Amino acid sequence: MLKSFKEKEEIKLDQLTRKIIHLQHCKGIGWKAIYLLLKQDSDLKNLYHYPPEYFSRTLALSPAQSIAVIEQLKDATLYSLPETYKDYGISAIPIYSSSYPSLLKNLPQPPWVLYAAGNCSLLKQERKLAIVGARKADEYGRKAIQLLMPELIENNYIIVSGLAKGADAFAHEAALAEGGGTIAVIAGGFHHLYPRENLPLARKIVRSGLIVSEFPPNIQPKKWHFPARNRIISGLSLGTVVVQAGKQSGSLITAYCALEQGREVFCVPGRMDDPLSEGTNELIGEGAKLVQKAADILSEIKGE
């Protein structure tokens, strides 16, 4: 699917990163398990020589589960996956890489590895702003984003969003139209981009922007991946702008993630009788900064 995505920056793959990636592809191994293994052996030097008892003791696995993990660690196909991903133009950026965004390291469970396709140098730029909103965002939402975008791009902000339908797509498209950079954070892996209708937009983003995921490319998106994705969107950014959001909108999760992370939250107000304004207007009532022009955003975070 991504063979036309050309890697813009070579990210060197060291042995520790390869081992972490291998672990991520083992069933029964999650973020905490990798943490516990690294705590015991920071270089995972002996990963391929641990006996079943080691996994049972360190990860509280049953003997059968430990044996299953060892069998997966013997799988040469899993070990060589990084080369396969590279063929698709996908880089693996570990948490200890200089290319890994420093803001993400402040999260309670930062991704061990970011999988990225496109211009990885965008991750190093400090001025990043998230713009999110309803999947059913209408022409009002599109126009609001288009009005804000020129000044944001002029001030060198990279626009971060989630490649979803509606407001996310509007944000990516407007940033590209202004000649700016944009980062799309996806749920699931690159081989299962969702929604499928945004695949042309994804290809366009990779040519001058970046797509990232904390999930390996072969992972299909699951329901819980989307709120997990939202914490990455806000975690990458100095602030989050919400444009049109209903009462149960997923973009509200992104806003509350931003608040928990100590980041700024901004909202474009909407009509009182519009269901797509319920979430944004409620956030404004709770103290989010009301946005009527780009200067309302820049005045709060330009000094960062």
Provide mean pLDDT across the span 25-43: 95
| pLDDT of 51 over the 60 cut | yes
Q: Is 258 exposed, middle or buried (0-12, 13-18, 19+ CB in 10 A)?
A: buried
Provide mean pLDDT across the span 82-104: 92
- Residue 165's φ and ψ, nearest 5 degrees, are -65, 165
Please give the mean pLDDT across all residues of the chain.
93
Q: How would residue 283 be classed by pLDDT, with cut points 50, 70 and 90?
A: very high
Terminal alpha carbon distance of the chain: 38
User: Pick from 31, 110, 94, 78: which is nearest to 218 by CA?
Assistant: 78
Q: What is the pLDDT of residues 52-86, one digit of tens each?
A: 999 999 999 999 999 999 999 999 999 888 888 98
Return d(Cα 165, Cα 188) in angstroms, integer.
16
Whether cis (ω within 30° of 0) applies to the bond prior to 82 is no
Query: 3-state class of 188 per DSSP?
Result: coil
